[in-house]
Chains A and B, each alone.
Chain A
């Protein structure tokens, strides 16, 4: 099963990280960055499959397509921001991680503005 593959990979990477961190901490960050990247590369196609299904369902339900595109964009931003923040937090740089997450939040808010505007218009239309 796939989960075994992922767990095995994680354990091997963790063991190597502990070994490397003893002697060369600066190499440990590169190794953890690399392990995270490989796992992400393994997951992304799965997420896009899920989104394909979502889009198909949304199409049938008649939801506007550009909302889903924005949702996809927000998901990607959150994904990458969390990846970067976690890497820097692992290495003990908590403040840097918070800054990265702040940047991610701002970008997500920027991406969500059209949807908020559309909702407001809808609400105004409903009012007598």
Chain B
């Protein structure tokens, strides 16, 4: 029941949101979008790893 990944993702999300607004205020809207894409990519990498663990567990436990 490791909850820390949830908080990590939430932190990255909030950080990306703040960066996006700051960058858009500073007139660099395109960099804001880049930061958003980077944030989504990083977070998705984290979750993909956990998903593969889930599927592996299901495969072994249900001995498919």
Contacts and interface: CB of A to CB of B under 8 A. Distances in A.
A16 B9 CA distance: 9
Interface residues of A, number: 33
A44 B40 CA distance: 28
A67 interface: no
A61 interface: no
A27 B13 contact: yes
A46 to B, nearest CB: 10
Label chain A's interface by main secondary structure: helix
19 contacts: A12-B6, A13-B6, A24-B36, A24-B40, A26-B40, A27-B13, A30-B43, A33-B47, A34-B6, A34-B46, A35-B6, A37-B54, A38-B6, A41-B53, A41-B57, A42-B1, A45-B61, A47-B61, A73-B64
Contact of B1 (A5, A20, A48): A5
A34 B5 contact: yes
A31 B58 contact: no
Contacts of A40: 54
A58 interface: no
Contacts of B62: 48, 72-73, 75-76
Interface of B: 1-3, 5-7, 9-10, 12-14, 16-17, 20, 36, 39-40, 43-44, 46-47, 50-51, 53-55, 57-58, 61-64
Given A34-B46, A79-B58, 10 more contacts: A12-B3, A19-B10, A23-B13, A26-B36, A27-B12, A34-B6, A34-B9, A35-B6, A38-B2, A73-B64
Q: Which residue of A16, A27, A42, A73 has the most chain B CB atoms within 10 A of its CB atom?
A: A27
Interface in A65-93: 69, 72-73, 75-76, 79-80
